[in-house]
Each structure stands twice: as C-alpha cells, then as structure tokens.
Amino acid sequence: MKTFAAVDLGASSGRVMVGRVHEKGIKLEETHRFANEPVRTQSLHWDILGLYRELREGLEKAGPVDSIGIDSWAVDYGLLDASGALLGNPVHYRDSRTDNVRLDISDEQLYEINGLQKLPFNTIYQLAAAQASPQFAIARQLLLIPDLLAYWLTGENGAEYTNASTTGLLDVRTREWSAPLTSGLGLSLPPIRQPGETIGEYGKAKVVAVGSHDTASAVVGVPAAGENFAYISCGTWSLVGLELGSPVLSAESRKANFTNEGGVDGTIRYLRNVMGLWPLQECMREWGSPDIGDLLRRASREKPVVIDIDDPSFMPPGNMAHRVARAAGLPADASPALLTRCIVDSLAVAHRKAIEQAQELSGRHVDAVHIVGGGARNELLCQLTADACGLPVLAGPVEATALGNLLVQARAAGVIEGDLAALRSVLRDTQQVVRYDPARR
Ligand code: LRH
C-alpha cells in the first residue's frame, strides 16, 4: 500500500485529500479544506499566494506521502518574468476582461487547429485581452495554475497536457503547442508533460503530473465499464460528453460548440460546457445558504419550468435569482423552491440536449449516463436527468476528481497496473454508485 496526496482547487474551496491505495482498494480522507474565493480589485483575481500557503499547510497535515498531484479548473494561468518571479495575481476566468475580445483568426480556422468549443474565457482570449498590459511586456513564461503551484513546490516548470489542451493554444492533432497560435505571443511556453510523469520532489515526496485539469481527473474517476457511456462531471459546471479515441472536427461539431479536450492516456474528452449548478449556487448564496436537502424536497413538489440555462447571461456572478425569475417569466418574488425547480429542470434538459448531440456528432451510442462530482448528491437532478435522457443515470462518486487524481499517481507508483478500464474497475469495486431509472413516458 502507498499513500498519495491529491490537491484539488475547486470553485469555492480547495482541499488536500489523502488516499491510501492498494491493488484492490482506495481509502480517501480529506485532511485540509480551505476557502478559494476570488478577490475583486479592478479585476477578479486568484488569491494565489494564500492558496499556496494553504496547500503547504495541507501537505504538512497529510504527513508522509509517496507523491503529490495537483488539479484545478482549466484555462487560468500566471505570468512569470525572466527571473521566474510571478507577475501579479492570476486573473480569474469569470472576470469581464474577455467580454469583447476578438482574434485575428476565424472561428473555423481556429477549430480546425485546436478543436475547442468557443468559450470566451479560454486562455487564448485571456491572453489577447492581456497583451496590451505593461505586465505582459515583461512576461517571459506562462504557467497554468497547477503547473505554477508545482513549480513553486519543485522548481521545475512544464505544462501538463490535459490542462494545456484547454488553453486554445494546443494543436489537437499533434498534441503540442501550435506554432501558428503561439508564435506571436512573445512568451515561452513550457514543454508538455503527460499525466503520470514525475515533475520533481517536494521534501521526500515526488510531485507527479496528474490530469491537472480537474475535469480530466473527474473523467478518470467515472466508474464506467465499456465505452458506451456518457458522463456528466457535475458541479459548478456540468461537463457533458463522451470519451473518444480521436477528435471530431466537423463543421457541425463546431457549430454545436463541442470541444475536443485532451484526456488521460491519449483519450479525447468530447464534451460541451453546460452551465451546471452555478446559477443554483449563486441563488443559494443570495438566499443565505438554506439547507439544500430541504430546498430540493420542496422543489420536487413544484411544477417544472424550463429556461435556456446555457444562456451566457447567467455566467457572471450576482443577482442570479432575479435573472432566473425574469428569464422564466416568473414574478420577482418567486419562491426559492420554484426557482430551484426551474434551474434543476432546465439543467436536466440541457444535459439531454448535450448527450443527444454528442452521440449524433460522434456516432458513438450510449446506454448509460454517469454523473460524478457534487451533482451526484442531488437526487432531484439525477432523477430529472434520467427522465429527460430516457437513460439510466449512475450517480457517483462525488469525489471523482480526487479519485482520478489519486489513481493516476497510484499507477505511476506501480500500485495499480493497466489502462483506464483497470483504474475504473477499482472504482467499481470500492465506490458507491446510485442508479436512477428513467420514469416511463
Ligand atoms: C470545471 C472547469 C471546466 C472548465 C472551467 C473553466 O471546473 O475546469 O472544465 O471549462 O472549469
């Protein structure tokens, strides 16, 4: 048996989880949890030094481990000067600086190179927005957030492949930085490293590259058997899609805004970002954080109301309950239960749309939908998703991201052998999964 630390920086909190892994078992324990709140000055920023301090405190609390793996959400980065010092606090992707950014390349040409859905906050747009700043003029190197933290721990720099694949700067075919997309940046982009590679040492522990894009680790953590499954990594976002062997780059795929992100072991995460639980999280914050179980029970007794929850107007924070009520044609004082029902119903319908389109565009048929992440706890959402899709939903594990992070480390350490299917079979043997069958229509 070996012991690993998974560091996961999520939308509102960061955690250090310790996993004890042997060939047939995995035991997970959260040893440190800390806030990950963005800080607003003129822009919305990461509190990166505070997070680094918490990360080190968490590793201290974790005690001796064989290795450490770090993941976080995609696309965000820090800029370093020629001496390797960080230039300012990284900007959070929900900042408005990318609102009106345009690139010199057409959407069609861009998709042909990078295969990514158009999300206004992809690194390529963030860089276009940042390029005129004085900071950028002295920037020499870009590191994505997990790579930046690993650099501080080990002194080694690199770009982990799954997260690099979300920047918009990677060539989806060669899996390397695209020369046409990066040559004008005036920045050096670090060499790509694959999940499982050793980055360096922190004390006696190795620091190992994992699927450092949280969604890539979550997809490793999907306890699926075979390949005919769709997954929803459901938390602040719902990342809805399929695991494929090669990208889908058709015009239809681009128009439907499907992405071909890089997965662990050379897989392609063919998916679309669906708004996820973000609007509900924002409403809950406005409502003073009521008990979610009670809210969902009351919501389940309300009549369904469906809106286009994927409308980009729901992306920025603030005033969410009012925005949802207005979109649904409900009175401004609509009850939290009714608004919750509306968000959850709308999300279930958006899940169905993405799963149907993913199948059509890729030719892959699915016969079950796995929901992993925090959303797997939301019984109403799981049932409504099963009903909307007309497919069984298999919910869990909630901790798919941390588990995917740990499994890649465990394989690198030789505790578990084999491909993704072998890693997933450990999950099927050890993790609880709840099945929701679709209501008969
Ligand atoms: C989910 C996630 C998603 C990205 C977004 C920025 O946490 O990484 O995959 O699109 O955050």
Q: Kindly report, residue by residue over 211-236, the tens digit of the pLDDT.
A: 999 999 999 999 999 999 999 999 99
Catalytic residue numbers?
Answer: 214
Ligand 1: residue whose CA is nearest its atom 2: 73
pLDDT in tens, 96-137: 999 999 999 999 999 999 999 999 999 999 999 999 999 999
174, with CB counted inside 10 A (0-12, 13-18, 19+), is exposed
pLDDT in tens, 179-210: 999 999 999 899 999 999 999 999 999 999 99
Q: Is the ipTM of this complex over 0.85?
A: yes
| 21 phi, psi to nearest 5 deg | -125, 135
pLDDT in tens, 333-343: 999 999 999 99
| 9 phi, psi to nearest 5 deg | -100, 110
| 321 phi, psi to nearest 5 deg | -60, -40
As a residue count, the chain comes to: 441
Average pLDDT score over the chain = 97
Ligand 1: residue whose CA is nearest its atom 11: 73
Q: How far apart are CA 167 and CA 125, in angstroms?
A: 9
pLDDT in tens, 11-38: 989 999 999 998 878 999 999 999 999 9
Residue indicated by tokens 């319908």 = 349
> What's the average model confidence in pLDDT over 391-416?
98
Q: How far apart are CA 28 and CA 16, in angstroms?
A: 10
C-alpha dihedral sign at 351, 225, 365, 260: positive
Cβ of 239 below 6 Å from ligand 1: yes
Cβ of 74 below 6 Å from ligand 1: yes
Question: What is the percentage of the chain residues whose pLDDT exceeds 90?
Answer: 97
**Lowest mean pLDDT, pick from 93-97, 219-223, 350-354:** 93-97
Ligand 1: residue whose CA is nearest its atom 9: 215
Q: How far apart are CA 141 and CA 120, in angstroms?
A: 22
- Using alpha carbons, list the distances in angstroms from residue 261 to 67, 165, 264, 285, 421: 26, 6, 10, 31, 19
* Global model pTM greater than 0.90: yes
> Using alpha carbons only, what angle is made at residue 209 by residues 224 and 228, rounded to the nearest 5 degrees?
15
Please enumerate in sequence order all residues whose Cβ is within 8 A of that of 106, keeping only pairs 6 or more positions apart, or say none: none
Q: How far apart are CA 227 and CA 241, in angstroms?
A: 12
